[in-house]
Amino acid sequence: MQEPAITPELVAAHGLKPDEYERILEIIGREPTFTELGIFSAMWNEHCSYKSSKRWLRTLPTSGPQVICGPGENAGVVDIGDGQAIIFKMESHNHPSYIEPYQGAATGVGGILRDVFTMGARPVASMNALSFGLPSHPKTRSLVSGVVAGVGGYGNCFGVPCVGGEVRFHAAYNGNCLVNAFAAGLADADKIFYSAASGVGMPVVYLGAKTGRDGVGGATMASAEFDDTIEEKRPTVQVGDPFTEKCLMEACLELMATGAVISIQDMGAAGLTCSAVEMGDKGGLGVRLDLEKVPVREKAMTAYEMMLSESQERMLMVLRPEKEAEAKAVFDKWDLDFAIVGETIAEDRFLIMLNNEVKADLPLSKLSSEAPEYDRPWVPTPAAKPLADAPEIDAIEGLRALIGSPNYGAKNWVFEQYDTMVMADSARTPGAGAGIIRVHGTKKALAFTSDVTPRYVKANPEEGGKQAVAEAYRNLTAAGALPLASTDNLNFGNPEKPEIMGQFVGAIKGIGAACAALDMPIVSGNVSLYNETDGSAILPTPTIGAVGLIADTAQIIPQAVREGDVALLIGETKGHLGQSALLAEAFGREEGDAPAVDLAAEKRNGEFVRANYARLNACTDLGDGGLALAAFEMAEAAGLGVTLSVATTAQLFGEDQARYLVACSAEAAKALAEAAAKAGVPVAEVGRFGGKTVSLGGAAAPLAELSALYRGSFAKAVA
């Protein structure tokens, strides 16, 4: 087949800028072949190269005594004691999900699960942070139903429990939804598998599903803004097969146990290209591939198509040659394709052959380590004006505005479509703070949360970035867990715009400061830029996924509010209403500055809650909706009413940080007050749980009525 001539138009269609193309010419000293152009485009796009973000990502804290492996591998690895490790990462699948919601979301889940089991871990928990446009927007309902079904369709079949996540709606996501998928797996700390190849002449082995033409150019698509040609991009979305992935996972884990695996890399974005380059580059080796040996499911595939296909459920491994027969037996057992498609070579070469014809011959190290890196111009986000004329509202009306919105209504419509209990270790399923799973066969448990408040980040990227980490810290703490580490999924608009880059830089500074202060290093992550449609950007959404350790399941803070329990507020209340949920939902105003985050207070208050877990019948972090929403949710979950003595709008709905609401006996409340005085932690009794009425200051309404509103608002808005 005649390959197309390399023209400026073809180069541009591959998402490469003229100066980037010049760099290619400089590196190879000649015009690239069509396949080579495709390879450069796959390696140098934003999604794979992090060229706009790398410089800033380096500033994040990534180490600590608990960190076994930080960013740079398929997922981060964190020590949980007793020779065990938790391996986790969060990754976006935004663009594909907007184009094709079911498959886009499904393959997002599939990709993140592969990242985890590639490292030798069995996935044990997943979460999904979803952001959609307004429910009234014509696309939203189909996106919500498709994305939720896709997340469930993949994860349920694979057999990993979903333990948490977020769902939000905002007009800024009308043309660009966000699907951020998190997965975590367990492994023995001394049995982690990495991607660096070692040894010359070692067989490069292809495993899993066959290669088709699906997803060719997917990573390049995901690195561009959307416009009205979006429908034409549908073929760049991959199709998922969770059954094959489940078999691939079982086969990989069995194979790893035989000692046959030297290195392993899953084929995700930019498929065969990215995985082979990664293994070679990390090991300081070259790689030769003979493409005619690649298992294909379509006829007459070109080298270009095979190198750029994003067909799912595939792995590349470097195996010990003497274990080949053993390895093949494992894959025959699981009826998966297994083929030796190349070998490691000593020269710095990425040599791609098809039927003995050279299709690409590139210096391998230049593809990855020497990919372009930009210091994009950025301008700091102008300081937000403080909120003028903070409104007053009848407290029950304010609560109704929140719980009647799909943003703050119960999310059972979503979570009940996910298997939240498979593996039979779920100690807390989604819907109430952090999710918890027991570490199988031990007394330990792990808590998981995913958090960000995009309104805050937009108003004040640095405080908003801090707040996302601080909220994750509080959610883990409220479950009784010691926060261990985090993963960040940074969703922003077009980084070539200095104001968007300014949001990114600000958020990174805030996240970095909070992760350092709260000892939650970033161990893995993903950046998704160009989340814009027709020039209009999403709210900056740096999602923080975090993991905490509970040494003994007996230390889990329960959610067992009892009749007559005291409602105790931990932390200082100033009544910050700027950028609050109340302001947005009840008044349609997104004004003012984000609440300030006092990291020292976060740490102090968090340590206080964890130290006093045994005195608490229930605990929740205060976030969106402040004290009023937290107290309602805590009471409603127990089927009880609540009476709060505080009365002003600012006290009830203010979103000051570093706060928790706890329920405890009167006796425990007394002891807590004494302990708090010693620790320098502000504590105030704010009311009582019990009865069947929700009473906030002077206003009151029957629990049953509010509960019906709370439990029905989500389905009413989107179903």
Partner 1 sequence: MKAAVIVFPGSNCDRDLAEAFRAAGADVTMVWHKDSDLPKGVDIVGIPGGFSFGDYLRCGAIASRSPICSAVVEHTKRGGYAMGVCNGFQVLTETGILPGALLRNAGLKYICKTVQLKVETSNSAFTSGYNAGDVLGIPIAHHDGNYYADAATLDALKGEDRVAFTYAENPNGSQRDIAGVLSANRRVLGMMPHPERAADPGHGGTDGAAMFRALVGVLTPA
The residues that touch partner 1, with contacts defined as CB under 8 A, are 149, 152-153, 156-159, 241-244, 246-247, 250, 333-335, 412, 415-427, 438, 553
Q: Consult the annotation and say whether 310 binds a ligand.
A: yes
* Cα angle: 601, vertex 607, 612; to 5 degrees: 130
Given CA atoms 167, 171, 174, 180 in this order, what sign does their dihedral have? negative
Distant-in-sequence, close-in-space partners of 95: CB < 8 Å, separation ≥ 6: 104, 176, 221, 222, 226, 528, 531
Cα–Cα distance for residue pair 599/602, rounded to 1 Å: 5
User: Residue 137 Cβ, how far from partner 1 at the closest point, in Å?
Assistant: 22
Characterize the bridge pairing of strands 693-696 and 67-69.
unpaired
CB closer to partner 1 out of 153 and 654? 153
User: Residue 320 Cβ, how far from partner 1 at the closest point, in Å?
Assistant: 26
- Tokens 């999904």 correspond to 128
CA distances in angstroms from 474 to 319, 471, 484, 548, 661, listed in the order given = 44, 5, 12, 10, 11
Cα–Cα distance for residue pair 125/162, rounded to 1 Å: 6
User: What is the layout of strands, in order, in the sheet containing 337-345?
Assistant: 261-266, 314-319, 203-208, 337-345, 286-290, 350-354, 357-362
Q: Consult the annotation and say whether 555 binds a ligand.
A: no
User: Residue 481 Cβ, how far from partner 1 at the closest point, in Å?
Assistant: 16
Task: Give the orientation angle of helix 324-333 with respect to helix 242-257, to 10 degrees.
Answer: 150
Q: Consult the annotation and say whether 710 binds a ligand.
A: no
Q: Consult the annotation and say whether 89 binds a ligand.
A: yes
- 590: exposed, middle or buried (C-beta count within 10 Å: 0-12, 13-18, 19+)? middle
Q: Which SS3 state, helix, strand or coil, does residue 238 take?
A: coil
Q: Consult the annotation and say whether 108 binds a ligand.
A: no
Q: Consult the annotation and say whether 503 binds a ligand.
A: no
DSSP class of 384? P
Cα–Cα distance for residue pair 6/374, rounded to 1 Å: 25
CB closer to partner 1 out of 553 and 693? 553
User: Residue 160 Cβ, how far from partner 1 at the closest point, in Å?
Assistant: 8
Distant-in-sequence, close-in-space partners of 426: CB < 8 Å, separation ≥ 6: 161, 163, 420, 435, 436, 437, 438
Catalytic residue IDs: 47, 93
User: Residue 411 Cβ, how far from partner 1 at the closest point, in Å?
Assistant: 13
Cα–Cα distance for residue pair 415/167, rounded to 1 Å: 10
What DSSP assignment string belongs to 249-303?
A: HHHHHHHHHTT-EEEEEE--TTHHHHHHHHHHHHHT-EEEEEGGGS-BSSTT--H
Q: Consult the annotation and say whether 333 binds a ligand.
A: no
Cα–Cα distance for residue pair 475/477, rounded to 1 Å: 5
CB closer to partner 1 out of 28 and 149? 149
CB closer to partner 1 out of 37 and 248? 248
Q: 240 in the Ramachandran plot: left (φ > 0), alpha (ψ -120 to 50) or beta?
A: beta
User: Residue 433 Cβ, how far from partner 1 at the closest point, in Å?
Assistant: 15
Q: Consult the annotation and say whether 180 binds a ligand.
A: no
CB closer to partner 1 out of 421 and 647? 421
Q: Consult the annotation and say whether 195 binds a ligand.
A: no
Cα–Cα distance for residue pair 479/558, rounded to 1 Å: 7
User: Residue 539 Cβ, how far from partner 1 at the closest point, in Å?
Assistant: 29
Contact, 456 vs 584, CB < 8 A?
no
CB closer to partner 1 out of 417 and 645? 417
CB closer to partner 1 out of 112 and 222? 112
Q: Consult the annotation and say whether 170 binds a ligand.
A: no
User: Residue 260 Cβ, how far from partner 1 at the closest point, in Å?
Assistant: 21
CB closer to partner 1 out of 79 and 425? 425
Residues belonging to the binding site for ATP are 50, 89, 488, 525
Residues belonging to the binding site are 50, 89, 91-95, 114-115, 238, 266, 310-312, 488, 525-526, 528
Residues belonging to the binding site for substrate are 92-95, 114, 238, 310-312, 528
Residues belonging to the binding site for Mg(2+) are 91, 115, 266, 526
